[in-house]
C-alpha cells in the first residue's frame, strides 16, 4: 500500500501524542503546529476523511491564539486526540476510500 503525505503527518502526530510528555493540550499544540497545519482537506481522498480532518482542525483553529496556547479543556483535548487517532486508522486500514 502506498501511503500519502497525510498518512505520514498523521503517523507522526499519533506517535507524538503517545510518546511525549506534557499535558494533553501541550502535546496537541505541538501536533497541530508541526504536523496538522501543513495538511489540507485535498490531501485526503475520501469525503469521510476530509470531513474528519475538518472536524479536527476547526476547534484547533478557533481556540489556537489565546495567549499563543490552545484554550481547550481536558475533555476537549482528549476528544480531538481520539479523532486524530481515528483518522489515522481510517487512512491506514481503509486506504481513505468511501
- For 26-57, how does the pLDDT look when each residue is reduced to its tens digit (9 = 90+)? 999 999 999 999 999 999 988 999 999 999 99
Per-residue cell: 49: 476523511
What is the number of residues in the chain?
Answer: 98
- Whole-number average pLDDT of the chain: 88
19-39 residues labelled b (16+ CB within 10 A) or e (exposed): eeeeebbebbbebbeebbeeb
* pLDDT value, residue 34: 95
* pLDDT value, residue 52: 96
Q: Classify 21 as helix, strand or coil.
A: coil
Q: How far apart are CA 85 and CA 78, in angstroms?
A: 11
**Domain extents in the chain:** 5-93
- Read off the pLDDT band of 10 (50, 70, 90): very high
Amino acid at each position: 500500500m502506498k501511503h500519502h503525505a497525510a498518512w505520514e503527518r498523521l503517523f507522526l502526530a499519533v506517535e507524538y501524542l503517545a510518546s511525549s510528555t506534557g499535558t494533553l493540550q501541550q502535546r496537541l499544540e505541538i501536533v497541530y503546529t508541526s504536523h496538522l497545519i501543513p495538511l489540507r482537506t485535498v490531501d485526503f481522498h475520501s469525503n469521510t476523511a476530509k470531513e474528519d480532518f475538518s472536524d479536527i482542525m476547526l476547534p484547533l483553529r478557533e481556540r489556537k491564539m489565546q495567549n499563543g496556547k490552545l484554550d481547550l479543556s481536558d475533555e476537549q483535548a482528549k476528544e480531538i486526540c481520539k479523532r486524530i487517532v481515528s483518522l489515522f486508522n481510517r487512512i491506514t486500514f481503509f486506504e481513505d476510500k468511501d
